[in-house]
Structures are given as C-alpha cells and as structure tokens.
Structure 1
C-alpha cells in the first residue's frame, strides 16, 4: 500500500481541512463552506472517527447532565440519543431505514435503489430503527445501572460514535459506488492510507476509553457487522451508497454499546 509523502498526508493543515469537511458532511452544525467544494471530500473520511468523538461528547454530556439532575437512566439515555440525532440531523438513522426498506422490499437492483431514494419509510425501515434504537438506548441504561455508572456510559458513547465511523472509510475504499450521484458519489472514494488511518484512529480512541479486552471484542463486532452489510450491499445493489454508510454507522454504534454493556454485566 502506498502512503502519501510527509508533506501531504501528515500535514496538520490538511488534517484540519479534512476534519472540517468531515464535520460538514456528517453533522448539521453551521460550519463555514470550503473555498474549493469537494476538493478534499474523499480524504476527509480519515477524520470521520474524530467527528464521532465530537458527537459522542455531546451525547455523553447530555447523559451526564441528566444524571446530575437525578433523572432516571431511561431519561439520561433518551437525552443522549436525542442530542446525537439533533447534531447529525438523523443522517445515519435515515440511511438505516432506507437500506432496510430497499434490501428488504426491492426485487432487483434498480428497484432497491429506487426504494432507498424514496423519502417515505416502510415497515422494514420502521422495524430497523426501533430495534437499533432499542439496542443503543437499552445498552446505555444497563451500563448506567451497573456499578460503573454514568461515567462508563458516557465513555462508551464516545467510543461507540468514534469506532462506528472508523469503519466507513474502509467500506468506501473497498466497494465501488452503486450510483453515479448521491452523497457517496459526491464524497468520492478514499485511498487505502485514508481508510487505514480512520480505522487506526477509531481503534485508538476506543482503547483510551474502554478496557483492552472490551476494545478488541468491540472492534471485531463492528468489523463483522459492517463487513457483512458491505457484502450485502455489493451483492444486492453493486456497491456503496450514502444510505449504506449510514446503516453501517448505526450497526457499528449499537455493536460497541452492546459489547460494553455485556462486559459490565459479565463482571469484567
């Protein structure tokens, strides 16, 4: 694998520009527009896990604030989920619903892509959202009710948001684009170095927040779920779309939170 030169790939200025572009793509924050739209969109994927840290911090602070107000864990989990959805504009949740409807209801590639583009939501999409939101919220509640408490829930939130986004760049690198338009096409295909950087950043952040064993299991769980989804996307629609990436993030986030929850309930 070829790595860019020190003056390019490792340039702090370029990393800053990529982080800003990534935040513009993955959140609804009022950020300044780039002077050259799309110029570094494909490279920005290496900063997706860093954007995840920001979203996770917002959600974690919401959880901690609810806990400080002596609200029950259910209310704290609801606050955390609501804040993360507000920051991202439900971008990833929308992708999950579209993929569930398209993969579940389409008879062929063209029909699946048409369903995924339709703004209406079907029964598959509703069920997917309910199940994933329940997994995320239920895990947070269980973590908060464990001896580790709300601090562990906040740490798990940051790790989950970061690690789930770390897998998006490898998917974008490994799969062709299923459409010639849309968010994934506009973003472009990252290089192998960008994909590797994103994966490493996400793993390191998770390791700083979770135990080593929990991190290893979480990385494996995210890789299996997101890899399985990527294989399904390749088989059913011929590649990746923005909706597929959104669904991958949701599955990855739920996986990390479930692993963190299981580790605490198991006494580790």
Structure 2
C-alpha cells in the first residue's frame, strides 16, 4: 500500500488511482470527513477515474491506515500533511475536494501553504466557515452539542458510531427514509479504524472560524450542501460560505443529508464532473 513518511516520521496512507486509459485531463484530491478515511470517496473516485481523471485520497493522520500519532491532530497540521503529500507526488493543476471536516483541511492548506498547485476547490457539506454557534455564526451548533459528542465517544464510542450513521449523518432518522444497513456498517467499520484520541480531537476543528481562509481564496470554488443536513446547518455552512468566496458557485440539494456522497452519489458525481470540465 502507498505511504509517505511525514516530517515527524508518521506513516501517511493514500490511494492513487491513475488508470492506464487516463486522458491526462487533471488530478482530483479528496479529503474525507470525520471520522472516516479515503474509502469514503470510492463512488466519486471510481466515477471520475472512469472519465479520465487521476484521483487521490488520503487517510488523515490518526484515521484509517495512517499512523495514530498522539499529537498534531489539528487543522494546521492536517494542512501541513496535505502539503507534504502534494509536494512529494509533485501534483499540479489540482482540484481539491473536501467533505465536512475535509473542507476545513483543504481551505487551510490553500491559505497556510499555496494555491499555486490548485486550480479549483470543492466544499461538500463542509464545516466552513464556522459550524459552532458564535457571534459570527449565530445559526451554528451550540458547543454543548459537541461536548455531548465528545462525552459519548469517551463513554461508548462503538455505540455512538452506530447511532450517528443510523440517524443524522445519512438522514435515516427522517420519516419515510429507507435506511441502508450496509452504509451504516461501513461507516461504523471505517470510523472505528481511527484512533480515539484523533477522532476526539478532530471535533475541536469544528469550533474554528475559517472565514478568513475563505475570503483569501482567489480560485473557483463549488459549494454543495443538502438543505436537510442535520450535522452542519446549511445556514452556517454553504449559505455562509458562498458569501465569503470571491469565485463561488452554490448547489443546494433539496432534502439532502450530510452524507450526500453516498445518499446521492449520481448527483454529486455529475456536479463534480461538470465543475471539472468548466
């Protein structure tokens, strides 16, 4: 399996699908959300690779197959890790795609490092600009909710990691929703591969204000979110983000849940492809 060694010696896993029939039309790099891994993007990676794109996704430190380091589980270090991957693979003309927490990671990479290697950026159900309730994000999630998440993880992470996908993540708790036990089990399995400390500390990134990161972006940005996202309220997510982006395009999915890459993969795939070709 492909790994790079990071500055602190940590082993950092990534998958790189560059099919022989690739048309050389570009490279798409995916950053996953909490508490998942590169595997969260397989539907999108398979689709885009079949359309001639090189597709890459990594496991954030502490998640999936990457090393479970004790420290550096914060957005600045994630941006540094991403920078090391991009530099070591010498990637150029990238399209960065971030879901949920991954949106914070790709935004911070662009402002902490550079957009010289980045052509476009995509935020899907992202925590940017600020998901926690604050004076600048009055429609955000009260910090007490995140405190409850952290308490639940420490008390019984396994049960919590079943409750989240069975409920708000995919919207399976909505009346008439047809739940997929396969999606639930997959989310649980991948989530439990992450280290407790890493997934616990990741929740602190949801309390960060990324407004300045978005304001600084000069590249085209696509913002996608469902209006029934129970994890990141759309008012504090996509609707707030689009106001800060200089070259932003907004796509709202009526009734869409947080995990729309899995619940509406055909729509996401077509919107990504259209943005890549634009």
What TM-score do the two structures reach when normalised by structure 1?
0.29
Higher helix share: 1
What TM-score do the two structures reach when normalised by structure 2?
0.28
Higher strand share: 2
